[in-house]
Each structure stands twice: as structure tokens, then as C-alpha cells.
Structure 1
């Protein structure tokens, strides 16, 4: 093991994931909230899928997008947590080179897909509030399916170069990744070659994909708020705004941690590495846990169906 981390090589058979550097002694304690987060994410998202499938009244565009988000969250969290818990619990730090590239692809791919789904859900809220009479016509089931497919294809294609960009690099001196998962730049930094292409492409994906999504969501909600404030009564304004509450909370829980992580990674040179890694974990692991909770609490139809389910089981 020690030889693999010091000898020169071009194509390493394995990488060594360090988990959270400088906090190795606390890995067992850190694993408790992470494992809890994962269990809640798995249960919550499966419950969302189950409720939407069983309740015909929820067979609407908003809930179809919510199901797509739930599947995305399940894949995203499962791409990270099992290996991370293996590091924390069993000190199983080795990951095969190809497995590392595969994890890298899934993480970045489904992060972009999740961002795209938030844009699609913002579009749904805009049409529902600004053009309510045409909602079922504009966002018919075939249109929703096409939007979902487009979001998935965009995420799959735009992140496809990541593993190829990482594979082409020659690696030397160390195969130790100071991270808890195979993040693109964290892997590329191990190379003994110029990684500017990797850096530039990573920035392109962030600004051209997630940046455009943020702009689209912002414009959508400006138009939504303008329509809401144009309603005649305060009660009508509050009732309409409540339909957007869950979506806004989910958006903030996804973009705010990811923005802080991006800024800390690019500009926080004096920030401890352990804080970087913790922040990178939070922005990928917390939204999959929070999304089903947010939609379960804020969305009356889901909340009522869940209550009926438990009451029925109790009787």
C-alpha cells in the first residue's frame, strides 16, 4: 500500500480516498449524521415515489417532475454514501481507477440533472400561476416526458468528458485523493501534467449549465412574483405563493451550499481542507434528504395522502 503512494506510475490501478483529511479520528462520529442523512434520503424519496404512484390526483406535471427529482436524489446519494461509509467504518479507502471514474461521472451527471429539474419545476410553477387556464395544454404529459428526457440527456452528455479528461492524464508520485469521493478536480490535481483543460471545462459546466439554470429560475420567479402581487386580495396572494414555497425551499437547499462550496474551493485558499471536504459533502448529501421532507411538509396533497396512509395502517 505504501509503495503505491510513492512510486511513479501513469495508470494507477487504484486510488486511495482519505475521507476527510485531518479529521480521521472523528470519522466514526462524522459517519453518524451522514448515515442518518442517507437513510432519511432513501426512505423519504421512496415514499414520495410510492405516494405519487398510488394517488391518481397527483398525476400532474409538478409531481412527475418531483418523481424525477426523487430518482435523481436516490442515484446521487447512493453514488457517494456507501463508499464514504466504508471509509469511515472499515477504513476501506481503496477504489479502483475505473470505479473512481464511474463515480465521478455519476456525481457530476446527476448534479447537473438535478439543477435542470429545478429549472423544469420553475417552468411548471410559472405556467401554473401565470397561465393557469393553459397549464394542462402547455405542459401535457408528452411535453413533460420530453422535458425530462432533455434534462437527462443534457446532464449525461455535458458531463461525459469528465472521466475521459481524467483518464488521459499521467499520474505520478501519489494516488492519494484528499477527498471522500472522486471529484473531478480533486482527481486531476494528482496528475503530473497541465490540468488547465480540466479546470476550464469544469468552469464551463458550472456556468453554462447550473449558471443558466439559476438565471432561468430567477427570471421565472420574478415573473411569478409579479403575477402574485397583481392579485386583488392578500388571501389570494398568500394562497398562490404557498404553491411555490416547497419549490423555493428545495432550490435554496441545493444552490446555496453548492455556491458556498464552489466559492470556497476557488477563492478560499486559507480555508482548511477539512472544511472544503465537509462543505462538498453537505451540498451533495443534504438536498436528497431535505427534498422529500420539504415537499412532504409544504405540499398539502402529499401530506394528506401520507397521513391517510399512516391512519389506514394504524387501524
Structure 2
């Protein structure tokens, strides 16, 4: 990154990772709902001991900025959480809750980065930290099955569901492979597939929220004493959940490439509480089974299995550097 400096006072830059879990307007009455998870500050001017590793983008920007340009870099620790925003409701105002990273530059009267600062002496920029999907291992996707019996029937319904792979990218079609062996005298009237997102807020409480991001019904009829084997395709998207309050998203809402939050991947040595928000997904496959007869629709029951789902962003191919126009 780069900053233009035209000041005789010391200039500092700070990168902070923080968790906001309350309304911003309550800060003015002395209630702080923002907790710093990690921060680091550097003195940019006068030049101190910071020696950034310059990239081609730095070189281009310094050429344009001239003597007033000062480059800097931050190394974000690997074990810090990724940027997660909890989607506000239509009537909510102020900053959204979640984990964010903020770059702040400020002018200080003295070389004391802890002093109270005037807003006119600061400049702020939100950046996003995104975790990309690990390399594919070739391992098979998850599989689950259940065998369920019903009253007045001496034979069961066997349901098996599986996925083709372990990890899916946001926006990719997901094929849910469904196998059914119906040995009963009952009829399966339809198959329902849902995707639930579970958000576990671990930093300040033990709150856990589950939101359904996809619910799709398939009009597949499975008669008594018959089998079924088919792949059902689903695509969970943020575009279908724009008004759902509390849904976890990747980064800030105003970014056009924002999507449903990626799964939280725990690494060795990571502190669960420092991550702030843990996100996971599961797929539920339901068979709606009718009892038949005049009361069949009123006495219908279901057979259900659950599968873990990992949604993430694909790893970029190579290193992409966007330079400003000359």
C-alpha cells in the first residue's frame, strides 16, 4: 500500500482486525461493541525502521506520487479470522456486525499512536481477508444413509445420499446423489433438499444461529416396492437470500463479489475464540412419505439424512497485479 504525506507532524498507519457485535450508534453513549482481535502500527513519517518489500504496484504508485509517496506493507498472521459480515435487515442502520480489517492512517501531534485522534486527521480503508480452498485431495465426498421403518409396515425405506467431492466453490452446481429402496407399501411423494448455514459466534458468547439458504423440492414419486437412483442439482446463492437478516457473508456488503460466507477451516494451533465467527454448512435430504388411503396426506412422515458441505472461494491461478493507467 501507499500513502501521500504532506505534513510536518508524525504520520502513522495501523492495521486492525476487530469484531463488531453491536450497533455503532450506541458507541456515542459509552457502550462499545467493538473488540480488537489484533492490531499493528507503523510510523511512516518521518521515516522509521519500516522497510517494506516493494512490488511492481508499489513502484508504479511511487513513480506517480513523487516525493510525497511513502510505501508500506503489513504481514497478516495466518491464524487470524477471515472477514465475515452478518447481513443486516432491511431497516438496520450503521455498520454491520462481523469481523473486519481496517487500515487507518493518522497524523499525530506527538509520536504517540495511543492518543485520541480527530476524524479530520485520519483516513480509513476496509480490506478483506479471504481464505481460499485447499488443494483437492481426490478423496470422495461425504455419504450418509438411514433405514427407517413405519407403523403398520414390516419392511423399511432405505435412503442414501452422497456428494461427488469434499469442497465446492461458491456458485458451482452441487449434485446430490440420492438412492432410495422403498420396500414398504407406502409412496414417497416428493424429495426436499435444504442447505443450512450455521453461524457460531464464539468471541463474546456462545450464540449459534442457523439460517436456511436453500430449500428446493423435487416432484419425484417413488412407488411402493420400487427403487430410485438420481442426482439432484442445487446451487445455494446469496442472490436468493438478500433480505435474510443475520446471514453470514464474505466481507463487506457493498462489494459486488460478496457471496455467502465460506466455511471456517481450523488449522493446527488456531485459537477457536480468536476466530470470532465460525461458519459451517449442511445439506439435508428429506423423503416425504405418504401413508396412503384417505388420510395419507395428513399422516405423512419423512425420512432424513444430513451431509456436511464445504463452500469456499477457488484459489487464484498465479499472482494478479492490477496497475493504474499511465
Q: TM-score range by the shorter chain?
A: under 0.3
Higher strand share: 2
Calculate the TM-score normalised by the size of structure 2: 0.20
Structure richer in helix, relative to its length:
1
Structure number with higher relative contact order (C-alpha < 8 Å, ≥ 6 residues apart): 1
For the pair shown, the structure with the greater C-alpha radius of gyration is 2
